[in-house]
Amino acid sequence: MDKSRQDDRTNWKIVLVIFGAGVVASSHIGKLPPALPEIRQDFAAGLVMGGWFASIISAVGFALGLVAGGLADRIGQRTVILAGLLALTMGSILGVVSQSSSVMLAARFIESIGFTATTISGGAIVAHVAGSQDKKWAMGVWATYMPLGFAGMMMIAVLFLKYLDWRTLWVVSAAISGVWALLTFLSLRGIAGIGRDGSGQRASVLRNVYLAVSQPGGVLAALCFAFYTAQHISLMSWLPTYLREDYGAGLTLASMLPALVLLFNAGGNALAAWLMKWRLSVGLLLLLGAVGMALTEIGIFSLHLPDSIRLSLAFAFGIFGGFIPAAALAGATVFAPTPAQIGTMNGLMVMGSNTGQLFGPPALAAARLAEGSWEGVIGLLLALAAMGMILASLVLYFELRTASKSRSLPQNTD
């Protein structure tokens, strides 16, 4: 992509359109938590099955995220993102007509294909159309697609579910995805440099995958992303159920509170992007985010603190957590060996994110059942946070080593 551009300026028009596609994709995750009690009732599904309804959308990203990134580099990011948006549309339509848990899981799996294709290709497009001075900043901004889409759809869902059923919400979700697919097609049509491989080259998919996984800093950043999403998405998916079961909260409050936490998470994304613009390192941001999440989790689940303090800590949890996706996605540009592997490295980050999203909600549900209360899940959450801190420290080490090697390379004076 960069090769075809005549300057090093960021194409903010494309960034905005692709950012919108990411928001639409994440809205397919956000539409479920408010509707989950009603869906479970319709299909007579248990708590763990409900967790799989929430997490199965991450299955393709978990299994094939890395390879999908390499394929997107090869066949063209534009083709992949359009296919992803259309898959989201079709998955929602199947969900509307589903009459059993198995069909609903199949519908969510199709949405998983769309979510993975959209977010992997979207991140790669943003990285390639951003100027060299804006790459970290643009990727940090791109990271806000997840909390904004998640929170926005949760708020929309509250309004719909007060008057209409969850199937109507799925119809609206399908329509939004279809419209954005058309807008993306029209916006990217004729734009140079967003075709095959993003640079006109036909690099081997397997070679790109090998080059990406041979970068320990990138692999560790992806793992850190996984431990983050296992905590964050799990809490956001089950928080409405927790509030309704333990506090008797109504649908509006139970859905709006996690939506507000997600908006604070978006604020954390934006803050991290701003800090990276001022040269704060990816590894340090990952570490700050992991430490902040651990400390706030202790307070959130402490029965000795008043509810007002616990609510404030929930918002702080969102902010600190927001550091991690922004830093991890920016890490794709830091650790990619060459620009030709940015899509593949972004696929690795998405694979890490989807790993946490896939296993986190069912694991939290299982911990809830084993401990007998939602407060009993704190041990699992703190263990995940501790792993995130260890991994972030290692990312910082490899990032500093990479920077040191770059400074020691001889400069071309031709």
Per-residue pLDDT tens over the stretch 121-153:
888 888 788 877 777 778 778 888 988 898 889
State percent of the chain over pLDDT 70: 89
The one-letter code for the residue type at 164 is: L
Residue 1 pLDDT more than 60?
no
Do the beta carbons of residue 387 and residue 227 sit within 8 Å? Answer: yes
In a domain, 21, yes or no: yes
Query: Which domain does 182 fall in, by range?
Result: 2-400
Which CATH number belongs to the domain containing residue 233 in this structure?
A: 1.20.1250.20
In a domain, 62, yes or no: yes
Per-residue pLDDT tens over the stretch 369-404:
887 777 778 889 999 999 999 999 999 999 888 766
Tokens 């990271």 -> residue:
143
Per-residue pLDDT tens over the stretch 322-369:
999 989 988 888 888 877 777 788 788 888 888 888 788 788 888 888
In a domain, 410, yes or no: no
Do the beta carbons of residue 362 and residue 52 sit within 8 Å? Answer: yes
In a domain, 411, yes or no: no
pLDDT at 392: 95
Tokens 């409405």 -> residue:
240
Per-residue pLDDT tens over the stretch 213-271:
889 999 999 999 999 999 988 887 777 777 777 777 776 777 788 888 888 998 998 89
Q: For 308, how many CA atoms within 13 A lie in the half-sphere containing its CB?
A: 0
Give which of 348, 351, 354, 343 is closest to 70, Cα–Cα: 343
Handedness of CA 208, 141, 403, 282 (dihedral sign): negative
SS3 6: coil
How close are the terminal C-alpha atoms of the chain, in Å?
A: 24
Residue 19 pLDDT more than 50?
yes
Confidence of residue 195 (pLDDT cuts 50, 70, 90): low
In a domain, 39, yes or no: yes
pLDDT at 194: 60
In a domain, 406, yes or no: no
Do the beta carbons of residue 329 and residue 120 sit within 8 Å? Answer: no
Number of folded domains in the chain? 1
pLDDT at 340: 73
